[in-house]
Amino acid sequence: MKIVKRFASASLALVVCAFAMPAMAQEPIRIGEINSYKAQAAFLEPYKKGMELAVDEVNAAGGINGRKIALITRDDNANPGDAVRAAEELLSRERVDVLAGSFLSHIGLALGDFARQKKVFFLASEPLTDKIVWENGNRYTFRLRASTYMQAAMLVPEAVKLKKKRWAIVYPNYEYGQSAALTFKQLMKSAQPDVEFVAEQATPLGRVDAGSVTQALADARPDAIFNVLFGADLAKFVREGNTRRLFEGREVVSLLTGEPEYLDPLKEETPNGWVVTGYPWYGIQTTEHKAFLQAYQAKYKDYPRLGSVVGYSTIKSLAEGMKKAGGADTEKLISAFRGLQVQTPFGLISYRALDHQSTMGAFVGRTHRKDGQGVMVDYRYLDGAAYQPSDQEVRRLRPAD
């Protein structure tokens, strides 16, 4: 009788395991995403929508080898310490398989260092600092968006065409702004040796004193201005500059200003003729972008911003990497991402094996005020692969993995 009972118990255990194992096999791959949602809502609300659209598409197509992906987000309060604490919580409590996200450059650097210490894969979606793939680069961190260096390199040829000698620079005084100003000066000096930088205004992020900054730039009497301000700081600077006629008779080259997140709020105050990087979603006619635009508008009844493209491409990149790696194992994912090709709304991009930087490019054009609204005109897409430094230069800048 005891033998029969033992046999029955063993059979029941096998049945339970048989049902449990498929359930365990179907556990989703968890993506832990950290960002400054409250502090940078203009960019990151559309960004989150882009991610969610991509998650829906990946899961509808069967997920990763039959496993769905799940997105778990956290707000970093625009603070590196909070970002690291959120990353720790995502790993320890939520058991995420990979990390992604960050907007502000100093937070991206903090998360990249966390990934190095914890040996976890991290895809930095938005932070633009060059350090994240160069001086502070590590084997666990990859970056999606075109870097500060790449976007500055796209703008410098346009700046040289203006044939202006005396330049002023205004930028937010943190890692991204400092990097953008330094790179622009270096590349301009190389391309136009007689250039002079007659004024430089470094402003607190989110707290620009637009009146004093505008007056200081006007007092320097520059021929042209290189602007790196964005968001609310940009709007204040434009308004004050228009009022004081700072931009009249002066060329302006401006990083990020053509992105709808920052251009749309300017409305009738939009300056005409600034040379900018941006995202003219209304005029891109490629097959890839049309498909993305249609899907985004169908889901959200709204037009995409650049954040939408970045969020969407972040998830698509992770999904392609996981398919190639056969899952979310860190070392296999690192190998998969080196040279990985991903189809995005901007076309096919790849991740360079040497420094983990993607070749996603940017649109360069000029601002124009039309019917009380800012738009980009005379724009063209520049492939990021053509604006990356040489392998030799990257090896000099990046520590060995």
Which helix (H) or strand (E) segment is 373 a member of? strand 373-382
Q: How far apart are CA 345 and CA 333, in angstroms?
A: 23
**149-283+363-387: CATH topology:** Rossmann fold (3.40.50)
Evaluate if pTM is beyond 0.95.
no
- The DSSP annotation for 90-112 comes to HHHTS--SEEEE--SHHHHHHHH
SS3 track for 1-43: CHHHHHHHHHHHHHHHHHHHHHHHHCCCEEEEEEECCCCCHHH
- Provide the residue type at 238 as one letter: V
Task: Tell me whether domains 25-147+285-361 and 149-283+363-387 share a fold.
Answer: yes
Give rounded-to-5 percent helix, strand, coil for the chain.
50, 20, 30
Task: State phi, psi for 329 to the nearest 5 degrees.
Answer: -60, 130
Task: Give the whole-angstrom CA distance, residue 326 versus residue 320.
Answer: 10
Residues 328 and 97 sit within 8 Å (Cβ to Cβ):
yes
| Tens digit of each residue's pLDDT, the chain (401 residues) | 444 444 444 444 444 444 444 444 589 999 999 999 999 999 999 999 999 999 999 999 999 999 999 999 999 999 999 999 999 999 999 999 999 999 999 999 999 999 999 999 999 999 999 999 999 999 999 999 999 999 999 999 999 999 999 999 999 999 999 999 999 999 999 999 999 999 999 999 999 999 999 999 999 999 999 999 999 999 999 999 999 999 999 999 999 999 999 999 999 999 999 999 999 999 999 999 999 999 999 999 999 999 999 999 999 999 999 999 999 999 999 999 999 999 999 999 999 999 999 999 999 999 999 999 999 999 999 999 999 999 999 999 998 77
Task: Parse the chain into domains and list their residue ranges.
Answer: 25-147+285-361, 149-283+363-387
Size of the chain in residues: 401
For residues 264 and 266, what is the distance between their CA atoms, to the nearest angstrom? 5
Task: State the architecture of 25-147+285-361 in CATH terms.
Answer: 3-Layer(aba) Sandwich (3.40)
Closest CA to 401 of 148, 142, 147, 179: 142
